[in-house]
Amino acid sequence: MSKGFNKKAFIKTLALLLAFSVVQLLIRFNIISYYYQDILARVCINIILAVSLNLITGFTGQFSLGHAGFMSIGAYTCALIIERVPTVYGFIAGVILGALLAAFAGFLVGLPTLRLKGDYLAIATLGLSEIIRILFINLDSITNGAAGLYLQRRFVNWFWLYLFTVSTVVLISNFVRSSHGRACISIREDEIAAEAVGINTTKYKVIAFMIGSFFAGVAGAVYASYNYFIEPNLFNFSKSIDILVVVVLGGLGSISGSIMAATVLELISSFLQSVAAIRMVLYAVLLILIMLFRPGGLMGSRELSVAMLTELRKKAIAWLKAMPARAVHAVRSIAKGSGKPGDKSAGKGRVDG
């Protein structure tokens, strides 16, 4: 049993390393153009954001509309440290400190507000992220206000992007599978029942909130270093909504869903870059349609797995196999449909006769 598990983990690690090296080589030999490298970086940052928000909203069921606020804390911390220590070590320190500060903010925010439920929590987190943004605008002496901060050098490359993205996904999916993660899921399913079986719901809500904010901070720090430039208005309400759209589209409670949705949406929005207004209208329609027809998101709370793929394959094969028969049936029914009036008149004729 344990041997089988090890083998699985070994294959997974190998696959991850292979994916990394392939992309690294492709970048090295300039096969992936700068444009696609940019998309790749944005996809990675979006994955970190979406997976961390999924832990809060998808798994623990706490509706947060303030993820961009935590992201901005990470971004500003990292940018300010890089400004003073413009080395890779400064960048690493910035990411770690930014993430820790974001987690601390999550703790401060979470403790009082997590007693609120559903919509109230959503509004409170929204208000808090707006307060954070307004503070960043007004703390001129530190953050350079609404004009934003410019960074001279970029430290983020494919190595760091990949490292942070993979560690976020691995750590959060392991957390969700641990007993703590199960406790979080039980809060989503039924808070009162969870409390009744002895789960300290406030504690687990705060934990989920802190971990989620921690990784939002990581994403913010990476974003700051990648983008050369940050300003408070990058982290406004719309940014929080953007992250939420990814989580909802992928499926509330599905990490693989979040990853796929982050990739697809980033691709879509890069291709629609020139028509930004249309992009948002499309997002809106997408949100409404998904909620109307698949309220759990595309993947629901399921994960993409080998079992699921084989089942899908089976279904697809069965569907394809039934194709000729269905086609024949369809043709027949059409033929019958057109022949019907004739049949009827024939029948009538017989009765008359």
Partner 1 sequence: MDQFVQQIINGISLGSIYALIALGYTMVYGIIKLINFAHCDVYMLGAYIGYFCMTILHLDVIPSLLIAMMLCTVVGVLIEKIAYKPLRNATRIAVLITAIGVSLFLEYGTMYFVSAQVRTFPPRIVKSMSAGIKLGNINVTYMQLMIVGVTVLLMVLLQFTVKKTRIGKAMRAVSLDVDAAELMGINVDTTISFTFALGSALAGAAGVLVGLYYNSINPLMGMLPGLKAFVAAVFGGIGIIPGAMIGGYFIGMVETFVSGYGYSMYRDAVVFAILILILIIKPAGLLGRNVREKV
Contacts with partner 1 by CB under 8 A lie at 57, 61, 63, 112-113, 115-116, 118-120, 122-124, 126-128, 130-131, 134-135, 137-138, 192, 237, 241, 244, 248, 252, 277-278, 280-281, 283-288, 291-292, 295
CB-side neighbour CA atoms (13 Å) of 236: 8
Q: How far is the CB of 106 from partner 1 (least distance, A)?
A: 15
CB-nearer residue toward partner 1: 115 or 315: 115
What CA–CA distance (Å, rounded) separates 73 from 128? Answer: 12
CB-nearer residue toward partner 1: 79 or 121: 121
Q: How far is the CB of 132 from partner 1 (least distance, A)?
A: 9
Q: How far is the CB of 247 from partner 1 (least distance, A)?
A: 10
Q: How far is the CB of 53 from partner 1 (least distance, A)?
A: 13
CB-nearer residue toward partner 1: 192 or 325: 192
CB-nearer residue toward partner 1: 118 or 339: 118
Q: What's phi and psi for 289, nearest 5 deg?
A: -65, -40
The pairs formed by 121-127 with CB atoms below 8 angstroms and a separation of 24 or more are 121/62, 121/63, 121/64, 122/63, 122/64, 122/65, 123/65, 125/63, 125/64, 125/65, 125/66, 125/69, 126/65, 126/66, 126/237, 126/240, 127/66
What CA–CA distance (Å, rounded) separates 31 from 144? Answer: 39
For the record, the structure tokens of 20 come out as: 């990394």
Q: How far is the CB of 136 from partner 1 (least distance, A)?
A: 11
* Structural contact between residues 23 and 39, judged by C-beta atoms closer than 8 angstroms: no
Show Cβ contacts of residue 146 under 8 Å, excluding neighbours closer than 6 positions.
137, 231, 232, 233
Q: How far is the CB of 196 from partner 1 (least distance, A)?
A: 9
CB-nearer residue toward partner 1: 120 or 229: 120
CB-side neighbour CA atoms (13 Å) of 64: 39
Q: How far is the CB of 46 from partner 1 (least distance, A)?
A: 18
CB-nearer residue toward partner 1: 23 or 286: 286
CB-nearer residue toward partner 1: 124 or 156: 124
Bridge-based pairing of strands 149-150 and 229-230 is: antiparallel
- Residue 150 pairs in a beta bridge with 229
- Residue 230 pairs in a beta bridge with 149
